[in-house]
A and B are shown apart, each in its own frame.
Chain A
Amino acid sequence: MDLLAQGLQLGSSVDWHAVAPDVILTVTACVVLVADLFLADRSKWLAMPLSAAGIVVTLVAVVSLAGQRRTTLGGAYEIDSFALLLKGVFCIIGLMVLAISFNYFRTGVRFQGEYYFLMLCSLLGGLVMSSARDLITVFIAIELISVPGFVMTGLRKNDAKSNEAALKFFLFGVLSTAVMLYGMSLIYGVTGHTLLSGIRAALVVGRDLSPAARSAVGISVPGDPIIVLSVFFIIVGFAFKISAVPFHFWAPDTYEGAPSPVAAFLSTASKIGGFVGLLVLMFTAFPDVADVWRPVFAVLATATMTVGNLIALRQRHIIRLLAYSGIAQSGYILVTFALIDPASPAVNSQALESALVYISIYAVMDLGAFAAAIAFARRGGTYFIDDYAGLWQRSPVLATLLAGFMLSLAGAPPMAGAWAKLFVFLAAINAQVYWLAVVMGANAVIAAFYYLAIVRRMFLEPPEIEGPVEVPFLLRTAMGAAALALFVAFIYPPIITTLAGGSIF
């Protein structure tokens, strides 16, 4: 009886409206898994509309929380405009990935139902990560994102490439988790808190105390070797997840070997999940020790942009090209971390805002590009860029859409990618970190080469293969919606900037 009373009390201490989106998605995932058991083989595809409906309801729950600020589960879980924007982004990624996956899994691969279940679980990790304000919650969220990813990557059981991709992704993923956890355990020991707000407070106290008082309280200074070490370990752990150079080796292989829709999911949801975790940790737990880690991010950002772009120049396989382009795009987002200044809230909020704008736009344009690549590779098509020659004459619509996504990734008008790059660039100028702005500019020029090479090949070269490329309805819708969204956001950027602008912790 006592236990029951305690359980009820625990239940009533949870703000159920705040956790509603996550709960709805959890229920959806379970329903999909069970429904898959009872569906006959030829109606297994019903798992997809079921998942889509669940994500739409989740999105409704997210919208119903708009403008609110709630904290629950003892401060470990927070709803604010930052969390809501990112939950919305994750839901949209989920819907787009479902549209991209449908025909691929319906015709080609077994394990349809399992795939949708795993995808929903991974997506749930992203939703939890957006609200996580506690080391334990951040850890659980990042694992919830990654672990289903390992399985999804290896879903083509008899394909040696898929096996290899899964093993590489798994080993790097688990290794990075271990490194990250070691850093987390040290920071927990130094500060005595797992709540991010508690960690921040403890670090500030440590900074302001005199050395004698510090040793009496047992709290270290920022710049203490143990704090440097633990923050560095945490950054390395996340650098694997976001495939930052030099921790990027797994990404191109994993994307190439995984089923292509899974690659699309990993390069958006999984990567963005890592970025959200980093943003939360750096902006809410460690902003006062920014002097320690800002240079690390400056180096990571420079290396990631440059190496990603240079290797992308020589890729012949569209998925590998998108993988390296994704690595370079991570570099641009990493720039925002290198701008943080404990003394200047204005610079910090601009950096956070530009990171959020970049993340939101990146998700849509990257998924669009993956959708186009998958559409082209269907029915005996290929992933090789040489075969894109003359696509304009074969399928003008597909060629135009793909060209739009490439322009957006390159940061050229008339697509929203231009604003994404510009905002990060302006944030760097405002923070007076001019050299990073210059590196960004130079990289945008290098990147233009390989993005525009594809556009040139599609529009100016004669086709080697005749006949239009047949694109199924859902893929067409996904690409059209993504392109339209990018175009509208280019014409009227406040659509996205107002959402990101309010998202200060």
Chain B
Amino acid sequence: MPVSYFLVLSALLFSIGVYGVLARQNAVLVLLSIELMLNAVNINLVAFSALLGQTGVPGQVFALFVIAVAAAEVGIGLAIVILIFRNRQSVDVEEMSLMKW
């Protein structure tokens, strides 16, 4: 399969993620959208790695690091979301406006 199929798929995923980040109001869904963007990156990396064959190992290593870091980030993100839910019984991003300008 040509690599362009994978690139289009990942571009679509990335765009859906960006849309989700901008349009969603629930903090958990924003987090989920960011995960989509990170997975788009992984698809890119793995596709390029497969394309490069023998010399493509760094791409796979990169993808593994991205997966590990994404997991760590989600852990911290959910912790922050839970903290906010405890303090205000809501995880609506639009309501986060104690500080402006």
Contact = CB atoms under 8 A, between A and B. Distances in A.
B96 interface: yes
Contacts of B34: 171, 174-175, 178
Interface in A373-427: none
B97 to A, nearest CB: 8
Interface residues of A, number: 42
Interface residues of B, number: 45
Contacts of A151: 76, 79
Given A136-B61, A178-B38, A194-B62, A161 B84 contact: no
A441 interface: no
A185 B99 contact: no
A125 to B, nearest CB: 12
B83 A163 contact: yes
Contacts of A175: 21, 34, 37
B96 A164 contact: yes
Interface string A242-282: 00000000001100110000000000000000000000000
B37 to A, nearest CB: 4
A235 B22 CA distance: 20
B66 interface: yes
Contacts of B99: 161, 164-165, 252-253, 256-257
Contact of B84 (A143, A167, A195): A167
Contacts of A165: 99
A154 B30 CA distance: 19
B76 A182 contact: no
A189 to B, nearest CB: 4
A52 to B, nearest CB: 26
A188 B73 contact: no
A136 B96 contact: no
A194 B58 contact: yes
A140 B51 CA distance: 24
A150 B101 CA distance: 21
Contacts of B79: 151
Given A147-B72, A163-B83, A175-B21, A168 B96 contact: yes
B87 A160 contact: yes
Contacts of B38: 177-178, 181
A439 B30 CA distance: 38
A217 to B, nearest CB: 13
A139 B30 CA distance: 22
A139 B58 CA distance: 13
B44 A166 contact: no
Contacts of A188: 45, 48, 58-59, 62
A189 B48 contact: yes
B16 interface: no
Contacts of A189: 3, 7, 44, 47-48, 51, 59
A163 B96 CA distance: 9
A170 B72 CA distance: 12
A192 interface: yes
A136 B62 contact: yes
Given A167-B27, A194-B58, A178 B84 contact: no
Interface string B16-57: 010001000001001100100110110011011001100110
Interface of A: 135-136, 139-140, 143, 147, 150-151, 154, 157-158, 160-161, 163-168, 170-171, 174-175, 177-179, 181-182, 184-186, 188-189, 192-195, 252-253, 256-257, 311
22 contacts: A135-B62, A139-B69, A140-B65, A147-B73, A150-B76, A151-B76, A160-B87, A164-B96, A167-B96, A170-B76, A171-B21, A171-B34, A175-B37, A179-B37, A182-B40, A188-B59, A189-B44, A192-B52, A192-B55, A194-B59, A252-B99, A256-B99
6 closest Cβ pairs, A-B complex = A189-B48, A185-B44, A178-B37, A194-B58, A253-B99, A181-B41
